[in-house]
Amino acid sequence: MKIFIFLLFLCNFIFADNDLSLEKIFKKNKVKGTIVIQSLSSNKSYVFNPKRANTRLLPASTFKIPNSLIVLDNKVIKDEKEIILWDRKKRFLDVWNKNQTLKTAFKYSCVWCYQYFASKLSLDIYNDYLIKLKYGNMKTGNNLTSFWLSGDIKISSYEQIEFLKKLYTEKLPFKSKHLKLVKKIMIEEKNNKYILHAKTGWATSPKNKHGWYVGYIETSKDTWFFSTNLLISDFKRLYLRKELTLEVFKYYNII
């Protein structure tokens, strides 16, 4: 019993130390938010700001991960190479103003592409999938083509991690080929040290602007899942989502 209490104390001490170490990284970058990273093999976790990590927020474009699986499952698009014709409407980013594929739409977070996909489905279909996936609060709201940007759907950083683990281990209710395809289009970096699978997101509601960076890093020793959520209101500071995340991984000598 004494050994158990000591180990519990030690775990809490390590957690607190990690929390303080991560706080320095956040302060250095002059940003508020949370980060959760978790090992697949040992379930070891590092967390900064657990209260915010447990707060459900709009997923914004991180919802493109489950959304890609849903549209593939419903044959809205057959694979990552099928052409999505641009409707010739000029939009926010130049990179959106051209024909796309699922791969490029995911990479460039092309809003109009995923709104087009959603228009081919229904709120009932999405709500059914959210329940099957146990995704966040499992509510879409009333707007079919923008519920992940400004609707009722909310998810916490801890829940993002759990969803990503199921994606990685292919324990989601989708065909294996679709799970593998989505994991493939999530690849942002690949080198001799690690493979980074990730998705950004930015919720721009006037009352609650925040940026996401979620995914996982595969190294030769382990796979680490991460969910970073930062309070960002300025487009010019969105780079911090990825930069801070990788800084934390380097701090713990994971990469």
CATH code for the domain in which residue 123 is found: 3.40.710.10
Q: 3 lies in a domain?
A: no
Q: 59 lies in a domain?
A: yes
Q: How many beta carbons lie within 10 A of that of residue 231, not counting itself?
A: 14
Q: How many CA atoms lie within 13 A of 168 on its CB side?
A: 24
Q: 2 lies in a domain?
A: no
Q: Residue 191 burial by CB count (10 A; 0-12/13-18/19+): exposed, middle or buried? A: exposed
Structural domain of residue 231, as residue ranges? 21-251
| CA distance linking residue 160 with residue 53, whole number of Å | 10
Q: 217 lies in a domain?
A: yes
Confidence of residue 243 (pLDDT cuts 50, 70, 90): very high
User: Residue 231's closest CA among 19, 61, 21, 26?
Assistant: 26
| CA distance linking residue 181 with residue 175, whole number of Å | 10
Estimate the crossing angle of helix 111-119 against helix 64-73, to 10 degrees: 40
Indicate the Cα dihedral angle 127, 132, 136, 140, nearest 10°. Answer: 0
| CA distance linking residue 8 with residue 184, whole number of Å | 39
Condensed to tens digits (0 to 9), the pLDDT of residues 189-227 reads 999 999 999 999 999 987 889 999 999 999 999 999 999
| CA distance linking residue 236 with residue 84, whole number of Å | 29
3 state SS of 211? strand
Number of domain units in the chain: 1
For residue 207, the model assigns a pLDDT of 80
Q: 196 lies in a domain?
A: yes
For residue 16, the model assigns a pLDDT of 37
Say which amino acid occupies 177.
Answer: K
Q: 230 lies in a domain?
A: yes
| CA distance linking residue 229 with residue 213, whole number of Å | 7
What is the rounded average pLDDT of the residues 92-110?
97
- Facing residues of 100 across strands? 84
Q: 8 lies in a domain?
A: no
Active site residues: 61
Q: Which residue has the tokens 């949370």?
A: 34
For residue 226, the model assigns a pLDDT of 99
For residue 6, the model assigns a pLDDT of 34
Q: 137 lies in a domain?
A: yes
Q: What residues have CB less than 8 Å from 42, skipping those under 6 apart?
A: 222
Phi-psi region of 170 (alpha: psi -120 to 50; beta: other; left: phi over 0): left
Say what percent of the chain tops pLDDT 90.
89
Residue 12 has pLDDT above 90, yes or no: no
